[in-house]
Chains A and B, each alone.
Chain A
Amino acid sequence: MLFKLFSTFFYLGAVTFGGGYAMMALLEHQLVEKHRWLSSEELLEITAIAQITPGTIAINAATFVGRRVAGIPGAIVSSIAIVLPPLLIVGTLASYLPQFFGQEWLHNAFMGMRYAVAALIAHAAVSMLMKGVTSKLGRALFLLALAILIFTPIHPLLMIVLGGSTGIALHALGIIGNKAEA
């Protein structure tokens, strides 16, 4: 199991470009669809937790999943595995990369990749919304949060805190019960 965790997160570290959210699509594919280590709902919870804990989303997710699947050793193995590919590539090639990445053909290839990543995020997001947020109230809160993000310069961390406070307020008012209808 530790080896499987290592190879999965090493792969994720080697093939994701752009970090955190761009990684969501691949995390959804690898962890939820392929290995079934997590449900869509849990992946969503991790995303939220990663926002309110220090550090990068990708490492947070690796630690969380590793811990869930194989305890503390799993957490350590997954976290090391995800930083290893970028460390090896950048650490050994740092002085050559700037010349290489100045080329125009590469710029165009990256434009294509960015469009693909946007589509992958959209697809993962819709699939997570369908499976992870199923109540009318949850979806209404989602739309409200999206509108706030688009029309105000709110910080992502504050958005998560606001969401959590809203959930607690709804519970205090008796609108959502013991089993929060996710």
Chain B
Amino acid sequence: MVFVELFIAFFRIGLFSFGGGLAMIPMYLTEVEKHGWMTQQEFMNIVALSQMTPGPIAVNMASYVGSGAAGFAGATVATFALALPSVLAILALTSVLHRIQHNPWKEAFFFGIKSAAMALIFYAGWLIASDTLALSLQESEWSAVAGALVVAAVYAARTYLPKVSPVLLIVIAAFVGFWVF
């Protein structure tokens, strides 16, 4: 029964993967090949597509694989099975955290993980920027310069025009990319 297989496979992926989308790829690949839902090559195309369609990468990958295996119903089963462990884990954790709200050990723990999380966010921005820059440099130096200008312009817009929606800035950057790169 393909729906049961999809549910179990994606619940397992959701349960055992930490750190979001791209960190999940090896687990996806194992499940997809085991069940014969698609080839490795097809799956790699899906990974690229998942970064282009809206929504979290992991959810997109689940929808693509589920849809390939059993149409829209398959996509629905895979997506909800993937999301379920996240939801349950957060609900369990928040009730525990609520109970130990003013515990000094908990506060100390959070003091430490906040600095670490902050570093991860900076690092993620750096990875996207350097990755895209490397891709631009393969195409032309001009495209890399234009990219740096886009970064500077978007940063300045967020600083000096805080009312402008970040989504609008992304859309404008897409048009700039389309015309300039």
Report A's interface with B, CB cutoff 8 A.
13-26, 29, 33, 41, 44-45, 47-60, 63-64, 67-68, 72, 75-76, 79, 82-83, 85-87, 89-92, 94-95, 97-98, 101, 105-106, 108-125, 128-129, 132-133, 138-139, 141-146, 148-150, 155-157, 159-160, 162-168, 170-171, 176-182
Chain B 9-20 near chain A by CB (<8 Å), digits 1 or 0: 000001111111
Residue of B nearest to A117 (CB): B128
Which of A16, A17, A48, A94 has the most chain B CB atoms inside 10 A of its CB? A94
Task: State the main secondary structure of chain B at its contact with A.
Answer: helix
Q: How many chain-B residues does the 8 Å CB contact rule pick out?
A: 98
A176/B57 contact (C-beta < 8 A), A87-B76, A120-B170 known: no
Known: A120-B154, A165-B112. A125 touches B91 (CB 8 A): no
B90 touches A44 (CB 8 A): no
27 CB-based A-B contacts, threshold 8 Å: A15-B167, A17-B53, A18-B57, A19-B51, A20-B57, A21-B20, A53-B86, A57-B20, A59-B56, A63-B90, A67-B90, A82-B56, A83-B55, A87-B79, A116-B169, A119-B155, A121-B125, A122-B122, A123-B155, A128-B118, A128-B121, A142-B115, A145-B116, A146-B122, A149-B119, A156-B23, A167-B110
- Given the interface pairs A112-B178, A115-B173, A167-B108, the reply to whether A13 lies near B125 with Cβ below 8 Å is no
B177 touches A121 (CB 8 A): no
Does A59 contact B57, Cβ atoms closer than 8 Å? no
Whether the Cβ atoms of A16 and B113 lie closer than 8 Å is no
Contact B111 A54 (CB under 8 A): no
How many Å from the CB of A74 to the closest CB on chain B? Answer: 11
Nearest chain A CB to B81 CB, angstrom units? 11
A76 to B86 CA separation, bound complex (whole angstroms)? 11
B54 touches A21 (CB 8 A): no
Closest 10 CB pairs of A and B: A112-B177, A167-B112, A55-B86, A86-B55, A163-B116, A171-B108, A116-B173, A145-B119, A21-B124, A121-B125
Q: Chain B's nearest CB lies how many Å from the CB of A144?
A: 8
Contact of A49 among B24, B56, B93 (CB under 8 A): B93
Q: Does the CB pair A60–B90 fall under 8 Å?
A: yes
Cβ-closest chain A residue relative to B136: A111
Chain A nearest CB, measured from B126 CB (Å): 8
Say whether, besides A60-B90, A170-B112, A89 and B54 are in contact (CB < 8 Å). yes
Q: A64-B94, A171-B108, A180-B110 are known contacts. Are A120 and B122 too (CB-CB below 8 A)?
A: no
- Tell me whether B72 and A55 are in contact (CB under 8 A): no
